[in-house]
Amino acid sequence: MKQLYLDGVWTDGAAGRTWTVTNPATGEHLDEVAVAESADVDRAVRAARRAFDEGPWPRLDPLVRGRMLHQLAERIRGRLEELAMTDTLNIGKPIRDTRGFDVPCAADLFESYAGLADKIAGKCYGTLPDNVTLQFREPLGAVAAIVPWNFPLTNAAIKLAPILACGNTVVLKPSEVSPLSALMLAELAHEVGFPPGVLNVIHGTGAETGAALVRHPGIDKITFTGRHQTGVQMLEAAKIGMKSVMLELGGKTPSVVFPDAPLEHVVNGVITGIFFNLGQVCVAGSRLLVHESQHDELLERILAKVKALRQGDPTDPNNHLGCLATPLHCANVRRYVEQAHQEGALPVLTGPLPADPQDCFFPPTIFDRVTASMTIAREEVFGPVLSVLTFRDEDDAVRLANDCEFGLMANLWTSDGGRALRVARRLRAGRIAVNGGGALRPNVPVFGYKLSGIGAELGFDETVHEYTNSKSVLYSLATEKTPWPE
């Protein structure tokens, strides 16, 4: 059984309850994980609070903090195969993806932010002859970090690397669906020698454990990635103690293809954008907006290539596609597909839907003749379902792309550089990828427009803003003071 990691030690939950972690591809039992009760959450927060208020971490030479983060990155690389297989078994993601992206990206994140630790600088305002004002950036405090199940290790690193680089302490709650690699990360941090209480990992459902964590008065900031409906609950919880909040929420990414786009690159980009990790990605390119003159040719090319994708055992590196993370999520994706049929979308690629409610292998699905008012074009399906819409001209494309409550990312495909920048300026999304340039980079911030979030994930300047406090010190140089009220 996997225990909680609190204050530098492994411990059972106060009530002895456990959560069963299963392999969605086979239904097999993977492990039992201790569930954190409210008393355990309190222990975790108090440990993080004590480590921040009294411990060495915020007061370490930043170079030492950075060196420990770099060592953690190297430990992750040293256990690449084990970490990759853990996430593959836990959520059904192909081993070729966890091995080729998830684990290396997590290591890169810690390595990148290791270099930030000693470069956090303040300012000096010295324009007055008798006064010098200094602005310091100081660690923020104890942070509650809650991550989803779709990229277990990577999402944990996205949160932890910036938080720890800035000198904060943290309580991490991974999804109850996929907690195993977060525990391994805690093991590695323990091996490196992170002081007790700096990193704490607890488990449980969002409704119970997560709610207790974000409402705890000892927490200074909430950082959450997940559904926008849960993000609203985070805002409510933040009122207790006036916590600051960083929310990275859902998306409904449009891929806008103009007539001058190189179709051979577009095909690969569109397929990767929606079928990588079976669409269980917040920036999944679930809406394909193609100029009406190119519609038939592009769709024909996409269909031919998608039909050649191999779906099956996630542990087989020859397979491109694995399965969805849980039977419950599979049923939810199925409801969206059934609703698309009812609303008149034309299925041009489908497969036999799972007959067994426990079967999580959902086939790649493409709907044509989708309109902007259809549910499948407006709500985040979070599955391998592509909606195809057509546009007449640039204005029509921008209108369709923006006709959505989300604004996390957009993809543009064109050979016209002027058009690319012009349209990018008009789209209401926090991240615009032109001609396939959307790879995650540790130093590039992720912003969300509309329902897609508040604040910025990643980015060095943005990280300093999100995870440090600003303090001004006004230093008088005057030798003579004029007392009030003279």
Please tell me which residue in 37, 105, 166, 282 is annotated as part of the active site: 282
- Catalytic, 187? Answer no
Burial (CB < 10 A; 0-12, 13-18, 19+), residue 383, is buried
Please tell me which residue in 37, 111, 248, 466 is annotated as part of the active site: 248
Q: For residues 446 and 453, what is the distance between their CA atoms, to the nearest angstrom?
A: 10
Residues 6+ away with beta carbon under 8 Å from 323: 24, 25, 92, 278, 314, 330, 360, 361, 362
- Bridge partners, residue 347, by sequence: 367
Instruction: Identify whether the C-beta of residue 228 lies closer than 8 Å to the C-beta of residue 452.
Output: yes
Reported residue count of the chain is 486
Instruction: Identify whether the C-beta of residue 58 lies closer than 8 Å to the C-beta of residue 139.
Output: yes
Q: For residues 328 and 149, what is the distance between their CA atoms, to the nearest angstrom?
A: 13
Cα–Cα separations (whole angstroms), residue 154 to 2, 105, 125, 187, 370:
20, 6, 39, 16, 33
Q: For residues 363 and 323, what is the distance between their CA atoms, to the nearest angstrom?
A: 9
Element at 233 (helix H, strand E): helix 228-238
- Catalytic, 360? Answer no
Cα–Cα separations (whole angstroms), residue 389 to 45, 128, 281, 366:
48, 60, 21, 11
> In 3D, which of 321, 313, 326, 245 has the Cα closest to residue 279?
321
Cα–Cα separations (whole angstroms), residue 117 to 7, 414, 464:
23, 39, 10
Q: Which residues are catalytic?
A: 248, 282
